[in-house]
Amino acid sequence: MTYKLTYFNFTALGEPIRFLLSYLNIDFEDNRIEVEQWPSVKHTIPYGKLPLLEIDGKVLNQSTAICRYLAKKANLAGSDDWESLLIDIAVDNFQDFRLSIISYWYEQNEESKAAKYATLVNETIPYNMERFENIVIENNGYFVNGKLSWADLFFVGILDYLKFRSEIDLLKDRPNLQALREKVLAVPKIKSWIEKRPSTVDIA
Amino acid sequence: MTYKLTYFNFTALGEPIRFLLSYLNIDFEDNRIEVEQWPSVKHTIPYGKLPLLEIDGKVLNQSTAICRYLAKKANLAGSDDWESLLIDIAVDNFQDFRLSIISYWYEQNEESKAAKYATLVNETIPYNMERFENIVIENNGYFVNGKLSWADLFFVGILDYLKFRSEIDLLKDRPNLQALREKVLAVPKIKSWIEKRPSTVDIA
């Protein structure tokens, strides 16, 4: 089977997919679109959004759906329906958190942007990061049930980008999330990917 | 088991969950929060967002994760991993579409709001509704593989609310989506729910 991932030349929503493909030891074409190219490419893309994964030419969009599919193959999607539910909830909570950062970033009105940044720094980031830290404490070092799942890979995969866009060290004073990050980055197949991936502006 | 759904007194993200609980013939407490109550309740809710489903007192947030879990019980979540993937993609595409409508609705700056509405009416709504219509044509009257799935229930469940917020008849000139809506509303357990549900401002 052939796998082609099309995404921008940074981590963000592409990286959890790259993590999972690497974890599965799947060779994939890592097709990176430069931001300057995007306006001329956008209209050719279903729903006008990236990432896209093509499997044997079948075009798939929606990063969480793609990650869940790959995670099932990797046995990282929960061992029963309840565990899968808890993983899905964790991922969608990260996605909501990502959206609040992105919503600030793309805001065009300068006054609204400043107001959004204040809410982000004073409320949204501390509130969410504290919850995430506590969930990892309650779940023995992982997001769900004390074992590695795609929720952990997803969180660590998008973290650099969220830090870059918010300009805030999200893991500061969050030792359990820091330890989780180290564990994920030390998984051999993820480690090999990190060592060979292109250097991009959003990687710390 | 006891099921308690907490949501606002309208359809939106609560309704696909109400549809699925009804489809499964599960008795549930339909706890409705009035918008005026919300500021005094919000801080008690995990992540500050509704809906929440409590199953035997275990508190779950994130509507798509909850729907997927219930859909598995109802055999509406795909018969293999590939079909589940296609259903997940369809649902996340609706969620993106919903977010573009909601993002206009919650915009505080009047100038930005007018600009967002113009984009919604002239681009986002026609683009997405045409894609959804075509997907249903290609899939013999449903969103995925010619048979009922939770993608269909999800779409029909949130449709009234999206029409209410956008003030646009989303199904106008979309006969295949209209037919899909009729089919979903005619499913006996959904039909019984529709007949007994409270009347709210967003129901046409």
- Answer yes or no: do B97 and B180 share one domain: yes
Give Rg (Cα) of chain A.
Answer: 17
Q: Is residue B179 part of a domain?
A: yes
Nearest-10 crossing angle of helices A150-166, A81-106: 10
**What is the predicted pLDDT for the residue at B5?**
98
- Answer yes or no: do B108 and B170 share one domain: yes
HEC profile of B89-134 = HHHHHHHHHHHHHHHHHHCCCHHHHHHHHHHHHHHHHHHHHHHHHH
Residues in chain A: 204
- Answer yes or no: do A69 and A98 share one domain: no
Q: Is residue B203 part of a domain?
A: no
**What is the predicted pLDDT for the residue at A108?**
86
Cβ-Cβ contacts under 8 Å, A83 against chain B = none
Q: Is residue A7 part of a domain?
A: yes
ipTM (interface predicted TM): 0.96
Q: In what order do the strands lie in the sheet with A3-8?
A: A29-33, A3-8, A52-55, A58-61
**Mean local confidence (pLDDT), A169-178:** 97
Q: Is the pLDDT of residue A14 over 90?
A: yes
CA distance A52 to A56: 13
Q: Is residue A202 part of a domain?
A: no
Q: Is residue A149 part of a domain?
A: yes
The average confidence (pLDDT) of chain A is 96
- Answer yes or no: do B67 and B161 share one domain: no
- Answer yes or no: do B25 and B48 share one domain: yes
**What is the predicted pLDDT for the residue at A109?**
87
What angle is formed at CA B164 by the lines to CA B163 and CA B166, rounded to 5 degrees?
65
- Answer yes or no: do A23 and A91 share one domain: no
- Most B CBs within 10 Å: which of A3, A85, A104, A128, as the mutation test of the B interface? A85
- Answer yes or no: do B38 and B91 share one domain: no
Q: Is residue B201 part of a domain?
A: no
Tokens of A52: 């896209």
**Mean local confidence (pLDDT), A10-38:** 97
- Answer yes or no: do A68 and A86 share one domain: no
CA distance B200 to B204: 9
Cβ-Cβ contacts under 8 Å, B60 against chain A = 85, 89
- Answer yes or no: do A67 and A106 share one domain: no
Q: What phi and psi, each to the nearest 5 degrees, are found at residue A138?
A: -65, -20
**Residue labelled with tokens 């969950």:** B17
Q: Kindly list the averaged pLDDT for each block of 10 residues, start to end, along chain B of length 204.
A: 97 98 98 94 92 97 98 98 98 96 91 93 96 98 98 98 96 98 98 96 86
> Which residues are CB-contacts of B21 (< 8 A; sequence separation ≥ 6)?
B3, B5, B28, B70
Q: Is residue A204 part of a domain?
A: no
Cβ-Cβ contacts under 8 Å, A108 against chain B = 112
- Tell me if B96 and A47 make a contact (CB, 8 A cut-off): yes
CA atoms within 13 A of residue B53's CA, in its CB half-sphere: 27
Domain housing B141: 81-186
- Tell me if A65 and B109 make a contact (CB, 8 A cut-off): no
CATH code of residue B51: 3.40.30.10
- pLDDT of A123-169, one tens digit each? 999 999 999 999 999 999 999 999 999 999 999 999 999 999 999 99
* Total of domains in chain A: 2
- Answer yes or no: do B136 and B70 share one domain: no
List the single range of A27-31, A38-42, A109-113, A185-189 with lowest mean pLDDT: A109-113
CATH code of residue A117: 1.20.1050.10
- Answer yes or no: do A65 and A139 share one domain: no
Side chain identity at A83, as an amino acid letter?
Answer: E
Residues in chain B: 204
- Answer yes or no: do B100 and B117 share one domain: yes
Q: Is residue A86 part of a domain?
A: yes
A vs B: CB pairs below 8 A: 76
CA distance A155 to A11: 12
The distance in angstroms from the start CA to the end CA of chain A is: 33
Tokens of A54: 């093509």
Whether cis (ω within 30° of 0) applies to the bond prior to B51 is yes
CA distance A47 to A43: 8
**Mean local confidence (pLDDT), A159-182:** 97
